[in-house]
Chain A
Amino acid sequence: MATAAIATEQKWWSGGKSPYNLSYGKLMMWFFLMSDAFTFGALLISLWTTRFSLPSWPDPNQVFSSFPILGNGLPLVFVSLMTFILIMSSVTMVMAVNAGHHMDKNAAAKWMFLTIIGGLCFLGCQAWEWTHLFHEGAWWGRNPFPNRDGTVAGTGFTNYFFTVTGFHGFHVFSGVVINCVILANILKGTYDKRGHYEMIEKVGLYWHFVDLVWVFVFTCYYLL
């Protein structure tokens, strides 16, 4: 093999070296996230297809205008809080990854714990939103909200809302569960023994993906 002549050339795919300089687990997480992106994309695009096929749709400023304790008349405020909470938890997750790079067990545990709290707060908010809408008469198959032009709306609005936010909320929930497992492992010292905290990076990718999906759901449902 003419290895001397091509010593400086990167031979990515000839074996003995991980392509892209990434471990198997991290690369597979990226590919899983791409597949999940298409799943969420399919849900949101079918939402748009339905919206385009109907002459009118409920106004999100009207539907999503309440806040816990403070009552009605606050359009989009609650969902903005939810968005802020999720973005914050993404930041704490990056901090946890950063702490992992420095092999700082205590800092990694602290930031991971804050990320879990953020995830639980988001789930709590989503649960409140669902309960509130349910008490207003909304559910799969039931839509009490009128269209923007004043006509009776079909059930597409609520069907899509509960399906998309439910699927997303399920991802947040599973992310919280996984983060708890990782936190337990951090505290146990598993990653110190392993010599690297790459597991935090991998679950970090999943967590950021969940945040990313929320950014798109927030835009499609509440803003547009």
Chain B
Amino acid sequence: MSEVNTPGNNHASESTMTTARIWRVFWILLAITVVEVFWGMKISHHIPYKWINAVFFLSMTFVKAGYIVAEFMHLRYEVTNMIRSVLIPLVLFIWFVVAFCMDGDSWLNLRSRYSPRDVEKAKVEAPEAPGTLK
């Protein structure tokens, strides 16, 4: 018997989304944001290596993104192959980010080696900017 899937037949979304769960995810997102901002304001300046900050912020961001996509957008409760259809193409981002950051880094090296004018321009001291923290 052919079962045409009309909207509203999707019972998976109805029983799993409760008000309590929604608010729980909200508090988690809020807590993570507060921790991130606190880190950005107070802690990040005292970290010896920049990549530690980057790893922290990016992992927190991915946790938040995961909660929004899985719970708010309900992806966790969809058919498994549907979840894969959405997530697997996003793996391309890994190559995307690595390749272009390496590209940028290579430009920096090329500039510093072959473009002394750019190197000199980058050393010009700036006057005091308007409205910034002293």
Could you tell me if B108 and A55 are in contact, using CB atoms closer than 8 angstroms?
A: yes
Residues in B neighbouring A34, C-beta threshold 8 A: 86, 89-90
Given A52-B104, A53-B108, A151 and B10 contact (CB-CB distance below 8 Å): no
Instruction: A50 to B103: give the CA distance in the assembly, Å.
Output: 9
Q: Is A171 engaged at the interface, CB distance under 8 Å to the other chain?
A: no
Instruction: A152 to B125: give the CA distance in the assembly, Å.
Output: 6
Shortest Cβ distance from A42 into B: residue: B96
How does the 8 Å CB contact mask read for A12-32 relative to B, with 1 for contact and 0 for none?
Answer: 100111101111011100100
> B22: which of A27, A94, A215, A222 is its contact (CB, 8 Å)?
A94
How does the 8 Å CB contact mask read for B85-102 relative to A, with 1 for contact and 0 for none?
Answer: 110011011001100110
Could you tell me if B107 and A53 are in contact, using CB atoms closer than 8 angstroms?
A: yes
How does the 8 Å CB contact mask read for B12-28 relative to A, with 1 for contact and 0 for none?
Answer: 11100111001101100
Q: Is A159 engaged at the interface, CB distance under 8 Å to the other chain?
A: no
Q: Is A80 engaged at the interface, CB distance under 8 Å to the other chain?
A: yes
Residues in A neighbouring B103, C-beta threshold 8 A: 49, 52-53
Shortest Cβ distance from A46 into B: residue: B100
How does the 8 Å CB contact mask read for A76-91 relative to B, with 1 for contact and 0 for none?
Answer: 1000100110011011
Could you tell me if A61 and B133 are in contact, using CB atoms closer than 8 angstroms?
A: yes
B residues in contact (CB < 8 Å) with A: 2-10, 12-14, 17-19, 22-23, 25-26, 29-30, 33-34, 36-37, 39-41, 44, 53-54, 57-58, 60-61, 64-65, 68-69, 72-74, 78-79, 81-82, 85-86, 89-90, 92-93, 96-97, 100-101, 103-105, 107-108, 111-112, 121-127, 129-133
A residues in contact (CB < 8 Å) with B: 12, 15-18, 20-23, 25-27, 30, 34, 37-38, 41, 45-46, 48-56, 60-63, 65-66, 72-73, 75-76, 80, 83-84, 87-88, 90-91, 93-95, 97-98, 101, 136-137, 144-147, 150-153, 195-196, 198, 201, 204-205, 208-209, 211-212, 215-216, 219, 222-224
Please name the 8 residue pairs, one residue from A and one from B, whose CB atoms are nearest each other, closest first. A52-B104, A16-B2, A18-B5, A196-B8, A146-B126, A53-B107, A198-B7, A20-B82
Question: What would be 29 A-B contacts, judged by CB atoms less than 8 Å apart?
Answer: A16-B3, A21-B82, A22-B5, A30-B85, A30-B86, A34-B90, A45-B96, A46-B100, A48-B97, A48-B101, A49-B101, A49-B104, A54-B122, A62-B132, A62-B133, A65-B132, A72-B132, A75-B133, A83-B33, A91-B22, A91-B26, A94-B22, A98-B22, A144-B129, A152-B121, A152-B124, A212-B65, A212-B68, A219-B57
